[in-house]
Amino acid sequence: MSSEGRTTRQQVAVRAALDSSAEFVSAQQLHAELRAAGERVGLATVYRALGKMSEGGEVDVLVRPDGETLYRSCSSGHHHHLICRGCGTTVEVAAPSVERWARDVAEREGFSDVSHTVELVGLCRACSQAVDMAP
Amino acid sequence: MSSEGRTTRQQVAVRAALDSSAEFVSAQQLHAELRAAGERVGLATVYRALGKMSEGGEVDVLVRPDGETLYRSCSSGHHHHLICRGCGTTVEVAAPSVERWARDVAEREGFSDVSHTVELVGLCRACSQAVDMAP
DNA sequence: TTAATTGCAAATCCTTTGCAGATTC
DNA sequence: GAATCTGCAAAGGATTTGCAATTAA
C-alpha cells in the first residue's frame, strides 16, 4: 500500500506535525508550527503534502464556513460539533449512532474507506433569548 | 419574526431565485441566473443577501471541499451525500436516524432552530479496485 | 427626508501553479 | 543520473469591503 512517490524530509515533518495535534488544523497553522519548530518548509509544500494524504484517505478533511480547509490525522478521538450561529460557541458531541449509520450506508453502497463530517448549526439558549428580545 | 432591515427588490429576487432551485447553489450561480433573467443585481449584493438569510437561519449552508459555499432554502426534500473521493460520483442518501439524532442532541444542549450537514466521503467500488490494480 | 442598501472595483484570504534548483531513488 | 519534489513568487478564485449614488420607509 502507498507506493506513490518519494518520501522527503518535508513530507515526514508535515505528517508528524499533523499527528501531534488531536484537533483539526489548517495548512497555514501547520506551516507556522513547522517554521517555529525550525523546520524549513514552504507553504506550498505543506499544501501539496496534505493534498496527497487527503487523496489517499489518510487524513480527515473539513472545510470551515469561511472556506478554510482543516485537516486531522485519521482516527483521533472522533466527535462532531454543534455550533451556535449567533455567538460561535461550539459544543463537542459524540455520535455513536451516526458512526454506525455512516458505516452501514457506505457498505450498502459499496464504498470503502469512508470518513464523514457532521455539523450541527443552531442557536444556543442565550442567543435564542437575545433574538426574542430584539428591539 | 425577521424585523431587521429593509426589503429591496434585489433581496426579493435573490430569495426567489434560491427558492426556485431544489438543490444547493452557489452565490455566483445565483448571480448568473439573476443576470440572465434580466435582474440587475450586483454580485456583492447577492452575497450580502445570502449572508443575511444564513444568519437568520433561513437557508441551509454547505461548503464544498474546494471552498465554494452553497446555499439552499430550508426544508426542501432533505438528504445527504456520499461522495467518491476518486471519481467524484455522488450518491444521495436519506438518513432518518441522523435527523432524529440531530434533533435530540440539539434539544439536550438547549439549541433551537438547528440545521445540519452530513457528508460521507469514501472510495466507490470502481475506484477501490483501480487502486488495488495500481502499477 | 434620511438612514439603509446597492454596485462597482479594489482589497483580502486561502489555495494552486510555473519553473529553476535541490533531492531522493 | 534522472525523475520527483521543493521553494518562491505570481496567479487564481471566492468572498468581503470602502464609498458614492440610490432607494425604501
The CATH code of the domain that includes A24 is 1.10.10.10
Do residue B70 and residue B114 come from a single domain? no
pLDDT of residue A75: 60
Residues A61 and A95 in one domain: no
Q: Which helix (H) or strand (E) holds A129?
A: helix A125-132
Do residue A68 and residue A83 come from a single domain? no
By Cβ distance, the residue of A67, A68, A82 closest to B106 is A82
User: What is the nearest CA distance from A115 to chain B, expressed in angstroms?
Assistant: 5
Domains of chain B: total: 2
What confidence tens digit (pLDDT) does each residue in B21-75 have? 877 899 999 999 999 999 999 999 999 999 999 888 788 887 877 888 999 887 6
Tens-place pLDDT, residues B88-125: 677 878 888 888 899 999 999 999 888 787 878 788 88
Residues of B in contact with A63 (CB under 8 A): 63-65, 67
Q: Are residues B70 and B80 in the same domain?
A: no
User: Quick one: B62 and B86 in the same domain?
Assistant: no
Q: What percent of chain A has pLDDT above 90?
A: 38
Q: According to the model, what pLDDT value does residue A87 have? A: 66
What mean pLDDT value characterizes chain A?
83
CATH number, position A116:
3.30.1490.190
Q: Give burial (CB, 10 Å; 0-12/13-18/19+) of B102.
A: buried
Q: Using CA atoms in the order A27, A30, A31, A34, what is the torsion angle rounded to 10 degrees?
A: -160
- Are both A22 and A56 inside the same structural domain? yes
3-state secondary structure B50-100: HHHHHHCCCEEEEECCCCCEEEEECCCCCCEEEEECCCCCEEEECCHHHHH
| Phi, psi for residue A10 in degrees, rounded to 5 | -65, -40
* pTM for this entry: 0.72
- C-alpha to C-alpha distance for A9 and A73, rounded to whole angstroms: 18
Structural domain boundaries enclosing A124: 76-135
- Do residues B69 and B81 share a domain? no
Nearest partner of A128 among B110, B4, B74, judged by Cα: B110
pLDDT digits (tens, 9 = 90+) for A9-32: 999 999 999 998 877 899 999 999
Same domain, residue pair A82 and A135: yes
